[in-house]
Structure 1
């Protein structure tokens, strides 16, 4: 896709929204924040969102820009359904995007979350997060909120 550098990122009437916000006791968190829609020179309403993935712990802090396509949202919904039955997941694995791996421990109360940037920084950061009650339901609501705020064609 050709991007018009003057157009940049399109911000809607609403502000940034967290598609994923895994955080718990101890200050460890992994967040995927949608900040807007990518505006291109050829298509003023493409089906791609832009945002960032950020990791924060008392020891490590960092973020990376990311693009989210309709298939990513569909895959995230599948990942949430798999997490609900206790399966670990790999979201956007083997794609040209930063990957998110969630390995559940102790049922749905703790997770080891790995963020792997295999294309740019070639770095992987892994954190353990004590999950709060209702985090799965919260993430289903977050997914619906992003889909309502920035409608895209589902694949």
Structure 2
């Protein structure tokens, strides 16, 4: 199957994407997290499991209730945080890759209304395909 864009947080200048590279029937899927802004561009691979996908669904529910989230907090691999009330009057997305590259990137992204519902639909579509 073709790649699946599970996460796409974007505005006119900044973007955080998580693309699942293969949807083969498996317990784990190789994915790429990519961060792009006018200042920085980078990516890293990560492994997604059913538990991580389900935790993303739960994180979206928390975001819908107005709570900040930290997703994939582990001692290995990247972590994604969403701070709804960022420093620049829009959400801040923080991607941390402390276990491999030791890099943390904080990007303000002026997300469009309905972005949470869009991501809930994405995760539901992904779950139907696996």
TM-score by length of 1: 0.77
Residue 5 of structure 2 is aligned to residue 18 of structure 1: yes
Aligned mate of 1:79, from 49, 56, 59: 59
| Residue 57 (structure 1) aligned with residue 43 (structure 2) | no
Structure 1 segments, 4+ long, off by >4 Å, are: none
Give yes or no for contact 1:19–1:139 (8 Å, CA) kept in 2: yes
Contact 2:75 2:99 in 1 (8 A): no
CA RMSD, Structure 1 to Structure 2 (Å):
1.6
Matching residue within 11, 14, 17 for 1:28: 14
Could you say which structure has the larger radius of gyration?
A: 1
Is the 1:37–1:48 contact (alpha carbons within 8 Å) kept by the matching residues of 2?
Answer: no
Q: What's the CA shift for 1:37? A: 4.6
Secondary structure of the residue that 1:113 maps to in structure 2?
Answer: strand
CA distance in 1, matches of 2:23, 2:6: 14
Aligned to 1:5: none
Question: Is 1:47 the counterpart of 2:27 in the alignment?
Answer: yes
Partner residue in 2 for 1:69: 49
SS at match of 1:126: strand
The alpha-carbon deviation at position 46 of structure 1 amounts to 3.1
Q: Give structure 1 stretches of 5+ with no counterpart.
A: 1-11, 39-44
TM-score by length of 2: 0.92
5+ long unaligned stretches in structure 2: none
Mapped to 2, the partners of 1:51 and 1:71 lie a distance apart of 15
